[in-house]
A and B are shown apart, each in its own frame.
Chain A
Amino acid sequence: MKADPRGVLTGVHFIDGDHACCEGALAAGARFASGYPITPSTEIVERFASRVPTVGGIFIQMEDELAASITLQGAVWGGAKAFTVTSGPGFSLMMEHIGYAAMTETPCVFVDVQRGGPSTGLPTLPAQADMMQARWGSHGDYQIIALCPNSPQECFDLTIRAFNLAEEFRVPVMFMMDEVVGHMTEKVVIPSADEIEIVPRRHTHKPAQEYWPYETNGDMVPEIAHAGEGYKFHITGLTHDHRGYPNMTPPMQDKLVRRLQNKVRNAVERITLYEAEGLEDADVVVISYGITSRVAQRAIELARAEGLGVGKFRLITAWPFPEHKIRELAPRVKALVVPELNLGQMVREVERAAAGECRVLAVPHAGGSVHHPEDIVKVIVEASR
């Protein structure tokens, strides 16, 4: 289906990543946001609060992130497309409700504009150190999807994709921005509504007497009903059967948790987005994501100017991790170089997927600024030897 034109600000804009993310959410059909102010993410909901009364929707500023991260889920079960927006400390508070969304299969989007941590850390400066938290932060076994934009244009485009993936797989999608991407201003082209493809909610067509909320079809994603439609369904965060009733037995736990994992794992190739260039004759491939991919681009150009064979692999989908791609790549190269604004997070996934077939070299940075391209070049040179 096509986007609702009321939410689409068609045109060429000069806006920052935070504002572009807000426009992406509106274009995707999000008409509900609950948030709590936190730098450097607040501009997203500030713009939403300003725009949404003229589009037809609701922004509510809650008393904390615990509330913000569950209020949006109530809105989803009421029938809305909904999201929340935060940064590190707030993201930490939201973890329980990411698990609730995973367990209850509530389609929704959590935006994390990453800043330096731990704790209050660097409120106004960038990091990419919430990448593992996005994947593993809530307790228990579950899967999420995480996307990493590297420009305001991608903040728009990929926010739409985040909502589409949330609806298709009924999972919470983590939109992993960083302070620099959030605050950099660039050209953003917003197409017309009829050029924007929207994945509709998997709403059931069954009559109430035949409907159970977690009865699954072939692709393991159940159909949803909303409150007030006469289905009289029950939802719980407890381990539950196809009826949504608590069933706390080892066999039910096994069946449910495996399905929550496999509905995403089995679709990894369909979900994965990446940007690759110059892999064919590369000795070294730089794997990066988010703002660091823009610095890596410069480093790759500098290294190539020195005659080195360097390829580029940019993760757009961080989770599920596209390990099949890295597994293909590893035996063909001398080394994979992984710069990121943390002291080693996604590089562990790269190492795991490469499985000893090539060297894997991290280019760590504790955050607060981006890398200097030369720091990445040095590691490329070392890796090329």
Chain B
Amino acid sequence: MSATATNPVEPFLRMDRIPHIWCPGCGIGTTVNCFTRALIDSKIDLESLALVSGIGCTGRVAGYVKLDSFHTTHGRAIPFATGLKLANPKLNVIVYSGDGDLSAIGGNHLIHAARRNIDLKVICVNNLTYAMTGGQSAPTTPEHAITATSPYGAFEPSFNLPHLVDASGAVYVARWTTFHVRQLARSIAEIFKKKGFCFIEVLSPCPTLYQRRNKMGDGLDTMKFYKEKSKVKNGASTSEVGLTINGEIIVGKFVDRDRPDYGSLMKAQFLEALGDRYVDCMETVCS
């Protein structure tokens, strides 16, 4: 490799904003690498892409990608993305955010967007904690894990996110870890082509907070942990993929089905009810 070689992800990043804020060993950058790999492999039109993030460590992804990108409010990436997608259905809208943002403060929007089957591609980086604010417990924190607000161990049952979005109606549900970079990139490329509400959970280390407090080592140790504990089970029933603090991590593509998305249902209903009085909004919303 010559000294002038550039990283292949550079054209997809706002290089004037690098270095990024993520800690050494954090997995969020790895997921962004996989995301850019999917952009390259899928040859998707970058101008048709918009990326929406909420608040938190993963929420900062929107600030680093060289796309139309929106860093919104805490928990509200999905409803913002819903408005963006409905106003301009030609856009391919990615929601890229963390587990706390999407499943706690934004949990209501997550289940309703899945129910409506809004054509959104959600990448949820799950580090099992609120990292930006110092490592407090999240709805995803496994029982017995130590966090800043569960200093004697968490005792609330945690969310099984694939099961939650599956039950809510998502058409594509997968889980990988930041150890599974090729599988993750392939999954992301797959959802670019899939119509409807797609959800990929990516387990990612937070060595600074979650791993440190739970004596799980650094970023590399977490890769070894993911390698050792992960088991690929494509098509697994999502009710059986819940996470525990030290147990097996079931990964794979769990759900891949088809049902009409919000836009198709809306159009069909209006055509049935209104006939030729219906004015297709595709050309008029943004006139």
Contacts and interface: CB of A to CB of B under 8 A. Distances in A.
Interface of A: 4, 6, 29, 31-32, 34, 52-58, 60, 62-64, 66-68, 70-80, 82, 96-97, 100, 226-238, 245-246
B8 interface: no
Nearest to B269: A53
Q: Which 5 A-B pairs have the closest CB atoms?
A: A74-B83, A56-B284, A79-B286, A78-B87, A56-B279
A31 B287 contact: yes
A94 to B, nearest CB: 11
B79 A66 contact: yes
A140 to B, nearest CB: 13
Contact of A60 (B47, B50, B75, B82): B82
Given A52-B281, A54-B277, A74-B85, 19 more contacts: A54-B274, A56-B284, A60-B82, A63-B108, A63-B109, A70-B80, A75-B84, A75-B86, A77-B70, A82-B87, A97-B73, A228-B50, A228-B90, A228-B91, A232-B69, A235-B69, A236-B62, A236-B70, A246-B71
A106 to B, nearest CB: 10
A199 B73 CA distance: 28
A56 B71 contact: no
A56 B87 CA distance: 11
26 contacts: A31-B286, A34-B79, A53-B279, A54-B278, A56-B285, A60-B82, A60-B83, A62-B82, A63-B109, A72-B83, A73-B83, A74-B80, A74-B83, A74-B87, A77-B84, A80-B286, A82-B87, A100-B72, A100-B73, A226-B286, A227-B91, A228-B68, A228-B90, A232-B47, A234-B70, A235-B71
B155 interface: no
A74 B84 contact: yes
B108 A74 contact: no
Contact of A4 (B81, B277, B287): B287
Given A60-B86, A70-B79, A31 B285 contact: yes
Interface in B228-287: 266, 270, 274, 277-281, 283-287
A53 B277 CA distance: 8
A31 B79 contact: no
A64 B108 contact: yes
Contacts of B86: 32, 58, 60, 75, 78
B285 A75 contact: yes
Contacts of A229: 47, 68
B76 interface: yes
Contact of B88 (A72, A97, A227): A227
B68 A227 contact: yes
B21 to A, nearest CB: 9
B68 A233 contact: yes
Contacts of A52: 281
A252 to B, nearest CB: 15
Contact of A57 (B50, B75, B284): B284
A236 B80 contact: no
Contacts of B278: 53-54
Interface in B64-112: 66-73, 75-76, 79-88, 90-91, 108-109, 112
Given A62-B79, A77-B70, A100-B73, A67 B109 contact: yes
Contacts of B227: none
A63 B112 CA distance: 7
A213 B91 CA distance: 19
B52 A6 contact: no
A78 B84 contact: yes
A80 B71 CA distance: 19
B25 interface: no
B233 to A, nearest CB: 32
Contact of B69 (A29, A67, A79, A234): A234
A163 to B, nearest CB: 14
A236 B62 CA distance: 9
B66 A80 contact: no
Nearest to B21: A246
A263 B76 CA distance: 28
Nearest to A56: B284
